[in-house]
Amino acid sequence: MENHEETLKQLAIQAQQHPVQSSQRRLALNKLVGEIVRSPNRRRRAPASWPAHLYHDLYNQALNKTLLEICQKIDQYNPEYPVMAWVNEILGYRCLDVGREYNQNTLPTYSLNELKQELPDLKPLDDEDEMLAEFLRSDPENRLKIFIKGHPEATLQVLALAILEEGKTWKQLSIDFGIPMQTIVSFVKRNLQNLTDYFRNNL
């Protein structure tokens, strides 16, 4: 265990000794990240507020944020302290951040009512379920073709119809498209809010 901590410390010091963006620094950081991921001393306890079935997704988000922060702030590391103590302190804060983001942005399931909550002042209509679905399918101004970066198949139109017609959950959409759940949540909510007038003027 002591040898592992010493390896981490030496890699951190190596990274500090090379200029930012140099290949030597990147190599040392890549090795350091790999050792952190494999470390038996890495914090794995989840905040009590996390749903058990989402632990893996939320923890990986927090870990990725932590690893990025470690790379960006490697020059702040003090060799007098264990690397994993520093890592676990940051990871603890990032776990709290991810938990807050989840609580603020995530709904347990998609439904028509929840989708409409993202569209302020949507007027009640007869057969509104079908009218909304038909509008999503027709997209008269082609404004729903925007997609998640790197995933052209995950358009707002496709995701919204999956919400409305199939009752997909955040988790199911994440699995279907192979995209982190939080990325889908943020994309859908942000763009529906941006397109409020488009919906209001056509429904």
Residue of 134, 137, 113, 118 whose CA lies nearest to 191: 118
- Check: pTM over 0.75? Answer yes or no: no
Domain residue spans of the chain: 2-105, 112-202
H or E segment to which residue 153 belongs: strand 151-155
Instruction: Give 184's contacts (C-beta < 8 A, 6+ positions apart).
Output: 148, 154, 159, 170, 173, 174, 177
Per-10-residue mean pLDDT for the chain, 203 residues long?
A: 84 93 88 89 81 79 88 92 94 88 56 47 47 82 87 88 80 88 87 78 69
Give the pLDDT confidence of 35-91 residue by residue, as tens digits. Answer: 998 888 898 887 777 777 778 878 888 888 898 889 989 999 999 999 999 999 999
Among the listed residues 73, 103, 79, the one whose alpha carbon sits nearest the alpha carbon of residue 6: 79
